[in-house]
Amino acid sequence: MVEQCTRKRMIISVVILGILTILLLIFEETLTSGLGPKAGATQLHNSTLRPHPNSNLESNILSSKAPQQIDPINRPRENKNCWIHEEFTIIRECHYCTDFELSSGTSDVCQKNGYKETIRCNISGDVERGCSGIPKLVQAQFWIFEILILVLFIIFSGIARLRWTQLERNTITQIERRLAKGH
């Protein structure tokens, strides 16, 4: 087949394959865009407000008689990682975080990858922890990909086989013509 293609046809074929590749990537992106965290919901919880170094805000707070608030950064770790040292059961399997949790930064576990699961520790109680993704969804995507590759393999193997038989026929007819002319 390649030997019968002109330079113009080969260039057009390469351009078409390039366009198809780009379209396939765009298609894949649209299919998977709803599976993970939103792109706009980046690490909002990392940006903390700090007073200007020259302000007397800290001294005013310390000198006032108001009750002290717990610093959210330096607060004790309560039961955040209870699954490490306690027995636990999974109450709700890995699932997507809500858009509000992602954009507001209220849930630290959602900021890493957009998934969380709820567990119940025997002593500490219910806790949310981050998880890497929904296993059933990942498995389904894998099998869809495998089936797609198998179908493409069958289609293109059939096309290659048809082309091979066509070339064989052309070769046989050329040989028959040469033999007919020779005799």
Q: Could you give the CA distance from residue 56 to residue 83 in angstroms, rounded to a whole number?
A: 42
Place of tokens 């990858």: 113
pLDDT for 165 equals: 95
Q: Is the pLDDT of residue 72 over 50?
A: no
Instruction: Summarize pLDDT for 119-136 with one digit per residue, the tens.
Output: 899 888 888 888 877 777
| Residue of 134, 126, 129, 124 lying closest to 111 (CA atoms) | 129
Q: Which residues lie closer than 8 Å to 127 by C-beta, 6 or more apart?
A: 79, 80, 82, 83, 118, 119, 120, 121
pLDDT for 96 equals: 82
Instruction: Summarize pLDDT for 3-52 with one digit per residue, the tens.
Output: 777 888 888 989 999 999 999 888 887 777 655 444 333 333 333 333 33
Q: Is the pLDDT of residue 182 over 60?
A: yes
Instruction: Summarize pLDDT for 87-119 with one digit per residue, the tens.
Output: 889 888 888 888 888 888 777 788 777 888 888
Q: Is the pLDDT of residue 168 over 90?
A: yes
pLDDT for 19 equals: 93
